[in-house]
Chain A
Amino acid sequence: MNDKSVQRIFLIVPIAILSFILFCGIVVDKSLANGTDNLRKRIGAELIIVPDGAESEAKNIIIEGQRGTFYFDRTVYNTISSLDGVADATPQFFFKSLSQDCCSSEVEIVFFDPFTDFLIQPWINKEYNKKLTKDAVIAGSSINVSDNGTIKIFGREYIVAAQMAKTGTSLDSSVYFTFEAQETLLKDAEGKGAFVLDEQKSTSVISSVFINIEKGRKTEDIIKEIEAKSDIKTDIIYPKKLDEAMSSSLSEIYTALHVVIIISVVLIVIILFCINYYIMSDRKREIALYQMLGASRVKVRRILCKDTVITSIAGGFAGVIFGTVVAIPFGDYIGTKLNMPYLGPDVTGVLSYYAVVLIITVAVGIAGSLYPVLFVTNLEPYIALRREGD
């Protein structure tokens, strides 16, 4: 390996590291933002009414898309839906269970009312043109649908009428049934040895009521009315407030991420400057010779800058390729470890990040070589050709 190749490797490696850090940083940053944004839209209700004491468990619906096992009487829904000022109200019943056809994974089973629903059906990604009867379900994006378009739960096959879009949360491993299927499914679950609570067996209970309030009506007034008219004690969850809390923990992650990126950029610029300064000092006689042979300063600078751009693109490209191999497949793992909704980019997203990272790495490469190039090309050839100590 000659000296020039070694010098080039010394320039490519820090640029590749920078490009790797930048690419992974952008992917994590954008995926967290997309995940949170998507979950925010998916919750889609202004208020969630849950049983008294279930508030903290129910908050997981908003933070991680995870549901709990809490129940109250259906009369709460009947009271709320008849209230003046409630634009939409829809009940849901949650049931967690181990899947039958995959190792120890938890499937979240949700029973919903397709006629009043405004939370599930707007997010259907793939429709199979099947009617949503008691033998049909809507599956989350992570649910493995068999080739014949069915899934097996507690020994019974259900037709998959539609599949939801990905959220990057536990909502993806949910299966949605209509209330008609509740009795059969819970009987099947008991038959297969699943633990079913006594209160879950009743078809007159629900887990939550999702509400949207009419425009122009005050949330506080509606809450007061709910409290006054309902005989059963309830807890109220405000997705907006939780969203603010989630945004603040997200901003902490962003700050840490951005600090790492900024420090990396500064360090790499300094490293590149030192390496370039060393390389240019080493090449100053060669550059002086070009100038003595008639090459203008501008031409020499152009050649050196072209060299920097090529090196930066090579390093940048190596970094983004390795970044893609690491950051994209590890997306779900990062989301799970951060306990935040995480929705990875699609191909277009990845390509646009490539472009951004390559532009930044070329800019950083030029910034790191600018002064050394100007310094060497500004030297008078006779000074540059003089040996140390002459």
Chain B
Amino acid sequence: MKNRVIISATQLLLGVLVYLIPTSLFAVCKGEMKMACYYTKQAEIGLAIIVILLSIASLIFADKKIRAGISISLSSVAIIILLYPLKLIGLCKMDTMPCRIGTLPARIVVSFLLFAVSAANAVYLLKKKGEGNE
């Protein structure tokens, strides 16, 4: 129970951060022209919603296997959070732009934490002896 609450709350908090980073904490470039960073932000808002919903599901379900599955999905989402700005969509081209100096590092920290917490939790739950609920 303790593990379920702590881990799910951490994942939920990280999900909220995934939403807040490009929109307000380290907002991407603001301007009339919609650049790559704008589309990355939109895509990541979608990912943040997925992280938040999965964390709530992880809090509701007591079954260890279901929660391990959710953690595996969350660690995959953490990788995609970084792939959007780095490979799939991209950011502004200049190294000095706000999306590169602020938003990207913050995303790196949050996705690293989300991946580490979720992957460690999945391993812990799958290795833990005994079937069923926690």
Residues of A near any B CB (own CB < 8 A): 99, 101-105, 141-144, 170, 172-173, 325-326, 329-330, 332-333, 336
Residues of B within 8 A of A101 (CB): 93
Known: A101-B93, A142-B94, A144-B93. A332 touches B31 (CB 8 A): no
Distance (Å) between the CB of A102 and the closest chain B CB? 5
Say yes or no: B35 contacts A102, CB within 8 Å.
Answer: yes
Say yes or no: A333 contacts B96, CB within 8 Å.
Answer: no
Contact partner of B92 among A103, A170, A325, A332, CB < 8 A? A103
- Determine the distance from Cα of A143 to Cα of B101 in the docked complex, in whole angstroms: 15
Distance (Å) between the CB of A338 and the closest chain B CB? 12
Known: A103-B92, A173-B94, A332-B101. 9 other contacts (CB 8 A): A99-B94, A104-B33, A105-B96, A144-B93, A170-B96, A173-B96, A330-B105, A332-B100, A336-B101
Chain B 29-64 residues near chain A, CB threshold 8 A? 29, 31, 33, 35, 37
CB<8 Å pairs between A and B, sample of 27? A99-B94, A102-B92, A102-B94, A102-B97, A103-B33, A103-B35, A103-B92, A105-B94, A105-B96, A141-B95, A144-B94, A144-B95, A172-B95, A172-B96, A173-B94, A173-B95, A173-B96, A325-B108, A325-B109, A325-B112, A329-B109, A330-B105, A332-B96, A332-B101, A333-B101, A333-B102, A333-B105
Dominant SS among interface residues on chain A: loop
Interface size class of B (residues with CB under 8 A): 20 to 34
Interchain residue pairs A-B with the least CB separation, the first 9? A329-B105, A142-B95, A144-B93, A332-B101, A103-B35, A330-B105, A105-B94, A102-B93, A333-B101
**Nearest opposing residue in chain A for B107, CB measure:** A329
Residues of B within 8 A of A141 (CB): 95
Chain B 76-115 residues near chain A, CB threshold 8 A? 92-97, 100-102, 104-106, 108-109, 112
- Determine the distance from Cα of A377 to Cα of B33 in the docked complex, in whole angstroms: 71
**Nearest opposing residue in chain A for B111, CB measure:** A325
Q: Choose among A99, A102, A170, A336 the residue with the greatest number of B CB atoms under 10 Å from its CB.
A: A102
